[in-house]
């Protein structure tokens, strides 16, 4: 049985994951209309992944005797300036999500809820991967600079990252 404190914190994370999905969906749409199909595909995949993270939390809260709350969401930005700025925002957002997951782990230990602590370890590992991926992408972007040919190749490269990530995801 979840404590009320932990249930509230998990519900906050449900909202964060839902908003993450919306943020990436908005980024995907922005990239798509800019002609960056590879980046758009990457962002659509990220959006789907965040939604799955949310659903996993919802199921967990409900299975542990809590009540997962589906709340209103903050509307994401619709303009990102440049694809470089967009990926910097992606990294900053993943760092924020990691901090929130770390807070959840801390609360689970305070509440001596070791089942939830164990459940959250998947999210901890996932966030390490998400931040590393965002940093790798930003490193590639910094190498490109303002080179249009580099942007074309990067757009294709990001599609490959999406394909590789999907192949690594267990069914």
Taken as a whole, the chain contains a residue count of 171
110 annotated to bind ligand: no
Judge whether 94 is annotated as a binding position. yes
Question: Is 67 known as a binding-site position?
Answer: no
User: CA dist 147 to 92, 93, 103, 144, 152, Å?
Assistant: 24, 26, 40, 6, 9
For the CA atoms of 12, 14, 18, 23, what is the dihedral angle to 10 degrees?
50
Residue 53 marked ligand-binding: yes
- SS3 call for 41: helix
Q: Are 167 and 45 in contact (CB under 8 A)?
A: no
Cα(6)–Cα(48) distance, rounded to whole angstroms?
A: 25
Binding-site residue ranges for Fe cation: 17, 50, 53, 94, 127
Binding-site members are 17, 50, 53, 94, 127
């Amino acid at each position: 049985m979840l404590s009320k404190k932990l249930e509230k914190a998990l519900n906050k994370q449900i909202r964060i994951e839902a908003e993450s999905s919306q943020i990436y969906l908005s980024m995907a749409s922005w990239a798509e209309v800019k002609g960056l199909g590879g980046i758009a595909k990457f962002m659509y995949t990220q959006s789907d992944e965040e939604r799955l993270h949310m659903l996993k939390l919802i199921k967990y809260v409900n299975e542990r005797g809590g009540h997962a709350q589906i709340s209103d969401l903050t509307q994401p930005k619709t303009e990102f300036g440049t694809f470089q700025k967009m990926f910097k925002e992606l990294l900053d957002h993943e760092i924020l999500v990691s901090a929130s997951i770390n807070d959840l782990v801390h609360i689970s230990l305070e509440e001596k809820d070791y089942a939830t602590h164990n459940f959250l370890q998947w999210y901890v590992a996932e966030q390490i991967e998400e931040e590393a991926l965002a940093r790798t992408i930003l490193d590639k972007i910094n190498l490109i600079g303002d080179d249009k040919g580099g942007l074309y190749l990067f757009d294709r490269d990001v599609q490959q990252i999406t394909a590789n990530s999907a192949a690594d995801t267990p069914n």
